[in-house]
Structure 1
Amino acid sequence: MSFSEEPVVQITNATIFQDNATVLSELDVAIGKGEFVYLVGRTGSGKSSLLKTLYGDLPLRLGDIKVVGYDIRGIKPADVPFLRRKIGIVFQDFELFYDRSVAENLNFVMKATGWKDKAKMKSRLAEVLMRVGLGAISNKMPHQLSGGEQQRVVIARALLNEPQILFADEPTGNLDPEVSEGIMKLFLEINKSGTAVIMATHNHHFIEQFPARVLKCESGKIRDSAKEDFELTGIY
């Protein structure tokens, strides 16, 4: 599998804000295509703010960030949906529509991102559900599914547009350990197929069991295991 040299995420001398407070500064990080990266740090250390900045939910005021070819600083609101078509976002709390079936949840995203051909939509819906290990559940309502199944639907939703990178913010935070491991293995399978993944997590067992590059938010900076060795203590 060949990847171009341009990183899927390039952060250059960036400062991350939450409201008017600086949470992370002097950030210089590149994430290559097809790379798997853990994002760790204590609650409030800036993990979620960084991810929200990367996918265009928080404005970038200082420095430069490029995500899948889009300049995040000064990105126009009209361009954010085009950015979102090239990335996938997985939340801890699912953010599904609970008054709509699984199929309706996925169709909503496809329509919002420009899909029009109903046959292709139906085929893609079945494809992503099979990819995450869910068979005939498209007509079920979210409340009829377990937490793990709901998170798999969220991952399926994130895969609809064949993203170059998945941003996952504590994707196993609300799941029990056994279910969490299944979700983790699913992310690794997706990554092996060429999709980059950056996953915020408090679960140090994952990092021990499935080692990969680690970015640690600490004291307003980011430490990078690709550049230095550091302890994983203090990620809770």
Structure 2
Amino acid sequence: MDFESQAIIKVENGNIFQGMDAILQDVNFTIEQDEFVFLIGRTGSGKSSLLKTLYADLPLKMGKAEIVGFSLEKIKNKEVPFLRRKLGIVFQDFQLFPDRTVAENLFFVMKATGWKDKSKMNNRMIEVLLKVGLGDASTKMPHQLSGGEQQRVVIARALINNPSILLADEPTGNLDPDVADGIFRLFQEINKEGTAILMATHNHDLLRKYPYRVLKCEKGKLLDSKTADISINTSF
């Protein structure tokens, strides 16, 4: 497959499955290394399945895809941790360990992805917390933080390994509008520093306010605003 030199993701004739069911068919798109792209669609239309396929939680059964140098149609189970070291994944429901401090949550990811030097780990932990505006939160437990602060910890966790791209699944979905806007501005700052962003969202206000490229899951297809007119005014 002839990938552009700046492409972080390229999918060619991909079929996205959930179990035995094809959720999206004939998927084709490319994301460049500094792009910010919205992913939209109704509940059940395939957004989360597409993201899960990109970080190899679901197999790519048909078609070809490459992300951060890994071919998803060929990837072996033992290679998946190496793929995820080059990605940042941000979930709507945080998935923080409730019985560990913020620092311990971040150290867990570092240990799982091969970090061994405690001094470097501590320095990186401080660095990413400062980046997300939580420089004084390392000793706090998740329940001591607001929802917006917990999401910032999740973003810090996703940034640990300097990923080429962040995959974000409804990262502002459980937050009130003002907090959600702050989280979105943080994603913009990360993007301006050179990290690509693919963000699934239902937030119409974000889509109207920020004219980023849009991918839309609709009726088993993935539409791309680069090549098609996409309505963001209908329910999704």
For the criterion TM > 0.5, the same-fold answer is yes
Residue aligning to 2:150: 150
1:5 Cα deviation after fit: 2.4
1:210 Cα deviation after fit: 1.6
**Normalization by structure 2: what TM-score?**
0.97
Residue aligning to 1:200: 200
Question: Once the two structures are superposed, what CA deviation does each residue of 1:100-154 show, in whole Å capped at 9, x if it has no partner?
Answer: 0000000000010011111111100000000001121101000000000000000
In the alignment, structure 1 residue 45 sits paired with structure 2 residue 61: no
In 2, Cα distance between equivalents of 1:28 and 1:6: 17
In the alignment, structure 1 residue 163 sits paired with structure 2 residue 159: no
In 2, Cα distance between equivalents of 1:84 and 1:235: 32
SS for the counterpart of 1:194 is coil
The residue identity in structure 2 corresponding to 1:129 is L
The residue identity in structure 2 corresponding to 1:163 is P
In 2, Cα distance between equivalents of 1:230 and 1:36: 17
In 1, Cα distance between equivalents of 2:204 and 2:161: 30
Whether contact under 8 Å (2:131, 2:156) holds in the other structure is yes
The runs of 5 or more residues in structure 2 that have no matched partner are: none
Question: Once the two structures are superposed, what CA deviation does each residue of 1:206-225 show, in whole Å capped at 9, x if it has no partner?
Answer: 11112100001001001111
In 2, Cα distance between equivalents of 1:94 and 1:231: 30
In 1, Cα distance between equivalents of 2:75 and 2:97: 28
Worse overlay, 68-77 or 49-58: 68-77
1:230 Cα deviation after fit: 2.2
The residue identity in structure 2 corresponding to 1:157 is R
Residue aligning to 2:116: 116
1:233 Cα deviation after fit: 3.0
1:235 Cα deviation after fit: 4.5
**Normalization by structure 1: what TM-score?**
0.97
The runs of 5 or more residues in structure 1 that have no matched partner are: none
In 2, Cα distance between equivalents of 1:145 and 1:161: 24
In 2, Cα distance between equivalents of 1:68 and 1:166: 11
In 1, Cα distance between equivalents of 2:183 and 2:135: 16
- The alignment of Structure 1 onto Structure 2 pairs a total of residues equal to 233
Residue aligning to 2:125: 125
Residue aligning to 1:96: 96
1:171 Cα deviation after fit: 0.3
In 1, Cα distance between equivalents of 2:129 and 2:209: 26
Root mean square deviation of aligned Cα: 0.9
Whether contact under 8 Å (1:41, 1:234) holds in the other structure is no
In the alignment, structure 1 residue 79 sits paired with structure 2 residue 79: yes
Runs ≥4 in structure 1, deviation > 3 angstroms?
A: none
In 2, Cα distance between equivalents of 1:158 and 1:230: 30
User: Percent same amino acid at aligned positions?
Assistant: 61
SS for the counterpart of 1:50 is helix
In the alignment, structure 1 residue 63 sits paired with structure 2 residue 100: no
Residue aligning to 2:25: 25
